Structure 1
Amino acid sequence: MNLFRKKSIQELIQETGQKDVTLKKELGAFDLSMLGIGAIIGTGIFVLTGVAAAEHAGPALIISFILSGLACVFAALCYAEFASTVPVSGSAYTYSYATFGELLAWILGWDLILEYGFASSAVASGWSGYFQGLLAGFGIHFPKAITSAYDPAHGTFVDVPAILIVFLITFLLTQGVKKSARLNSIMVTIKLAVVLLFIGVGVWYVKPVNWSPFMPFGFSGVTAGAATVFFAYIGFDAVSTAAEEVRNPQKNMPIGIIASLLVCTVLYIAVSAILTGIVPYQKLDVKNPVAFALTYIHQDWVAGFISLGAIIGITTVLLVMIYGQTRLFYAISRDGLLPKFLSKIDKKKQTPLINSWITALLVSIFSGFIPLGKLAELTNLGTLFAFMTVAIGILYLRKNKQVPKTGFRVPFVPYIPILAFVFCGYLAIQLPKVTWIAFAVWLVVGLFVYFGYGRKHSNLNIDGDHLKEAGKLKVKSN
């Protein structure tokens, strides 16, 4: 039964102040909102919109974004309550420790390692492609061998630009969370300006005839499109990993999570409507659909800004994803389920330095050497699994009379958590069978790690052993 041993919410909160060196509380609601927008608007809107429209949804891509957005809004409300109630690093991993116990918490943590780590690798690869394209416009080209992941048949061996951006972002993150958040806010402002520029220019070139037929692949195509573009929403949950570095988390965490998601949902719907209104959906199966649409209407000068905005946008996604990964490792390590050196905090910078550089090494290996292929779908499934677990966790919280009454609360319980679970579950079953198999293999590997290391080294296991020894000594003394 000790597989399901739990930590109370009070214990989780108390542990954050027990170390000599802790994470520095410097973030407010605006910083969190910008972190969320920085994580969400990126690869999804600049890359996946075209593929989803051409192969799955057609002009009904608008509905696909609404369906994915609804699933995320319901899940975001659940995350907001947990983040307000349990203002501790670790996101869904930490929440599960308080609700379902250690084994499921580990499974969620391992699942989130998949989401943040592999998504970071995929985003770094995407950044490399856009960056090389930008340099090519100025006549600058890298040797082919170092332009992409290992693929001897095509003459490529390592993606050097992807590795370099990972280490550059990690260096920034090790300088302190406030500096990282400040630079992120600047880049997000530029990114939002570029998206609004596309909307402002493109709306005048919309031809309603391009919206007919509106649903060429039927409703099944719309749901398949929703499962695909769900990747465009991944990131708001990374805001919750910043909980220990937030001033007044009970108030600011819900604002950051919900505000960032609502802003991005509105922009996604507007961009998808204009995109499919400008270009017939059959022609959108390209790597840069937003820039392509502007070139299609002979607005090349705007297309250049869009490409630059895409690079900046993808950079902010990479920053927040790597940040989320380091804080996840920090939380799991602090509980003893991973080696303790991953939770060591630098006294001067008040950031997990060793943890950050190990994360950079792992992400750079995946992004630099391994062709990632279906990674977006695998990341989607991992995220949906986490969302569903958090939704069920809210139902448990409401039955726990020890939960504090202050902070944000999900409205219309149990309906909102149930809707979050159903929407996310429906999107998950739209993903290919091979994705489910790969996800199952990942979880099995995680179980081997837990039973081989984590269960024995868990703080709860060590504390339990101490209690047993104390009990034995007491019996002997009597």
Structure 2
Amino acid sequence: MSFWKTITRKEDPRVYDNKDGHLVRSLKVRDFLALGVGTIVSTSIFTLPGEVAAMHTGPSVVISFLIAAIVAGLVAFAYAEMAAAMPFAGSAYSWINVVFGEFFGWVAGWALLAEYFIALAFVGSGLSANFRALFVPLGWKLPASLSNAFGTEGGVVDIVSVVVIILVALLISRGVSQAARVENLLVILKVFAILLFIVVGLTAIKASNFMPFIPQYHETANGAFGGWQGIYAGVSMIFLSYIGFDSIAANSAEAINPQKTMPRGILGSLVIAVVLFIAVSLVLIGVLPYQQYANSAEPVGLALRAAHHSGVATVVQTIAVLGMFTALIGMSMAGSRLIYSFGRDGMLPKWLGKLDEHNRPNRALWTLTIGAVLIGAFFPFAFLSQLISAGTLIAFMFVSLGVYALRRREGKDIPNPSFKMPFYPVLPALGFLASLLVFMGLDYQAKLYAGIWFIFGLIIYFAYGIRHSSMAKKEDGQNVKNETEAEENE
């Protein structure tokens, strides 16, 4: 077989149906809505609007959020159709494996793996910082050696981050239905905190803080500020907030009636998230001049205290810390299902794709957990953060283009889904181009680090995956059979 035919060999979707059929289907629409909102509306809703406004956009941060939402929405439509047609574990990795072939599936999956490993470590670190900050007024403070990553400001290990990531893994290892119940409760609490901030903040809004709505463009140490250049720079920063809907799709093999559950969960959670992000942005800018959010790690608390609501600020920040668990749960579930898919297909060692006695992919879960703990402990986040949005945007481009290949097979070897991306064939192309534009807006380091990550992935694929994958084994078996039959005929 030629090299091109080898890397483009496509998996039969019936194989994934059989392999993933052992996973327990227990998740409903409300579970996926909570999972999506919990992952998308994470730490960033309390920090990012103020940060982007101060660095790039001024009051027009709302426009950046809207544009990022439109780009995410285009891709979400593609995700919804893919998840309804092919409700397999591993989301983009498994889909691209079916419609474009093994190598391209690996590239898309490898891109997403960077997101889950690093984002899990990030959120754990952010939860730790906010949790410890709550106790500082009481005089309780951990030593630097137990508060920071190894080699950072005298740190040895961020013990709170390690503990919370392991606690979340223990919860998920007991079953997704149990994790979903905890997720649902925490999401309700988080949305309550956001709504409380919005309602209280509305009483302190000053119209003058919105003027000028789009400041004049100029260059700063942080890059473009003001004008459409600043808004574009803001979009590239903000887009990272919306990528959590992939965590829903990764769990589609555990959905009840995925034909309806997946589109409603993916699109519904994104709509809720967009409304909450824009509302928080408007209130933040209205309460205080955007310049005051520069270098603030807690703009929501800053705004509430400036409006003389310090008690509300404490309540909101306490719930925000608890709410960070929702993002950890969502990313742990999705990342472990992706690693399970790699093992299921032989792209990584097969034992990663084995289920326990209760049909749960806990080997993959603990691999993800250990990896995230080590990344958080030993690698500088300034280096790793660039990989998250770059890798995910590459996967989004694959999924957008994958709709064209999917349509040719729907109703044949792939079932006709109940949801289809509207305005076909225009919207898939727009989703691809919009993701490409956001990717081009990332800084040089983001593209460089993404390139390094993909070179590492290529080495793994050509050194291991291409020879050990399920499809490679199948071909070897077929070749042996053909040779045996030829010998018998002679």
TM range (shorter): over 0.9
Equivalent residue number for residue 305 of structure 1: 315
CA drift of 1:374 comes to 4.9
For 2:25, the aligned partner's letter is K
CA drift of 1:203 comes to 1.0
For 1:164, the aligned partner's letter is V
Equivalent residue number for residue 175 of structure 1: 174
Return the match for 2:480 from 460, 469, 475: 469
Alignment of 1:59-458 (within 5 A): 59-151=59-151, 154-216=153-215, 217-285=226-294, 286-348=296-358, 350-400=359-409, 402=412, 403-458=414-469
CA drift of 1:186 comes to 0.3
* Distance in 1 (alpha carbons) for counterparts of 2:276 and 2:45: 9
Greater mean deviation of Cα atoms: 83-92 or 397-406? 397-406
* Distance in 2 (alpha carbons) for counterparts of 1:368 and 1:24: 33
* Distance in 2 (alpha carbons) for counterparts of 1:84 and 1:345: 24
For 1:91, the aligned partner's letter is S
Q: Aligned to 2:180, what secondary structure does the other structure show? A: helix
CA drift of 1:250 comes to 0.7
Equivalent residue number for residue 13 of structure 1: 17
Indicate conservation of the 8 Å contact 2:81/2:417, yes or no. no
Equivalent residue number for residue 47 of structure 1: 47
CA drift of 1:137 comes to 2.9
* Distance in 1 (alpha carbons) for counterparts of 2:356 and 2:182: 21
For 2:316, the aligned partner's letter is I
Indicate conservation of the 8 Å contact 1:64/1:225, yes or no. yes
Indicate conservation of the 8 Å contact 2:148/2:154, yes or no. no
Indicate conservation of the 8 Å contact 2:345/2:353, yes or no. no
* Distance in 1 (alpha carbons) for counterparts of 2:41 and 2:108: 24
* Distance in 1 (alpha carbons) for counterparts of 2:422 and 2:243: 23
* Per-residue deviation, residues 76-104 of structure 1 (Å, max 9, x unmatched): 11000000000100010011001110001
Q: Aligned to 1:205, what secondary structure does the other structure show? A: coil
For 2:69, the aligned partner's letter is G
Q: Aligned to 1:400, what secondary structure does the other structure show? A: coil
Runs of 4+ in 1 over 6 A off after TM superposition: none
For 1:453, the aligned partner's letter is Y
Indicate conservation of the 8 Å contact 1:162/1:368, yes or no. no
* Distance in 2 (alpha carbons) for counterparts of 1:76 and 1:376: 23
CA drift of 1:388 comes to 1.2
Q: TM-score, normalized by length of structure 2? A: 0.94
For 1:213, the aligned partner's letter is P
CA drift of 1:295 comes to 1.0
* Per-residue deviation, residues 243-277 of structure 1 (Å, max 9, x unmatched): 11111011101110010000010111111011111
* Distance in 2 (alpha carbons) for counterparts of 1:4 and 1:126: 40
* Per-residue deviation, residues 399-442 of structure 1 (Å, max 9, x unmatched): 33524224211110112111211221111111101110100010
* Per-residue deviation, residues 430-456 of structure 1 (Å, max 9, x unmatched): 110111010001000000001111111
Q: Relative to 1, partners in 2 of residues 1:102 and 1:211: Cα closer, same or farther, differing over 3 Å?
A: same
For 1:104, the aligned partner's letter is F
Greater mean deviation of Cα atoms: 330-339 or 417-426? 417-426
CA drift of 1:238 comes to 0.7
* Distance in 2 (alpha carbons) for counterparts of 1:427 and 1:297: 36
For 1:109, the aligned partner's letter is G
* Distance in 2 (alpha carbons) for counterparts of 1:395 and 1:354: 35
Indicate conservation of the 8 Å contact 1:159/1:369, yes or no. no
For 2:334, the aligned partner's letter is G
Indicate conservation of the 8 Å contact 2:166/2:369, yes or no. yes
CA drift of 1:234 comes to 2.2
Q: Aligned to 1:115, what secondary structure does the other structure show? A: helix
* Distance in 2 (alpha carbons) for counterparts of 1:386 and 1:305: 38
Indicate conservation of the 8 Å contact 1:227/1:430, yes or no. yes
Aligned length: 472
Q: Aligned to 2:262, what secondary structure does the other structure show? A: helix
Q: Aligned to 2:355, what secondary structure does the other structure show? A: coil
* Distance in 2 (alpha carbons) for counterparts of 1:24 and 1:15: 12
* Distance in 1 (alpha carbons) for counterparts of 2:289 and 2:72: 28
For 2:83, the aligned partner's letter is A
Greater mean deviation of Cα atoms: 352-361 or 332-341? 352-361
CA drift of 1:223 comes to 1.0
* Distance in 2 (alpha carbons) for counterparts of 1:215 and 1:429: 23
For 1:429, the aligned partner's letter is M
For 2:381, the aligned partner's letter is L
* Distance in 2 (alpha carbons) for counterparts of 1:345 and 1:8: 21
Greater mean deviation of Cα atoms: 367-376 or 217-226? 367-376
CA drift of 1:69 comes to 0.4
Indicate conservation of the 8 Å contact 1:278/1:293, yes or no. yes
Q: Aligned to 2:381, what secondary structure does the other structure show? A: coil
* Distance in 2 (alpha carbons) for counterparts of 1:398 and 1:353: 34
Q: Aligned to 2:415, what secondary structure does the other structure show? A: coil
* Distance in 2 (alpha carbons) for counterparts of 1:410 and 1:468: 40
Equivalent residue number for residue 223 of structure 2: none
Indicate conservation of the 8 Å contact 2:68/2:239, yes or no. yes
Identity of aligned residues (%): 35
Q: Aligned to 1:373, what secondary structure does the other structure show? A: helix
Q: CA RMSD in A?
A: 1.2
Q: Aligned to 2:203, what secondary structure does the other structure show? A: helix
Q: Aligned to 1:396, what secondary structure does the other structure show? A: helix
Q: Relative to 1, partners in 2 of residues 1:398 and 1:232: Cα closer, same or farther, differing over 3 Å?
A: same
Q: TM-score, normalized by length of structure 1? A: 0.97
* Distance in 1 (alpha carbons) for counterparts of 2:266 and 2:460: 31
For 1:436, the aligned partner's letter is K
For 1:320, the aligned partner's letter is G
* Distance in 1 (alpha carbons) for counterparts of 2:430 and 2:289: 34
Greater mean deviation of Cα atoms: 365-374 or 244-253? 365-374
Indicate conservation of the 8 Å contact 2:78/2:421, yes or no. yes
* Distance in 1 (alpha carbons) for counterparts of 2:325 and 2:385: 17
- Unmatched tracts of structure 2, length 5 or more: 216-225
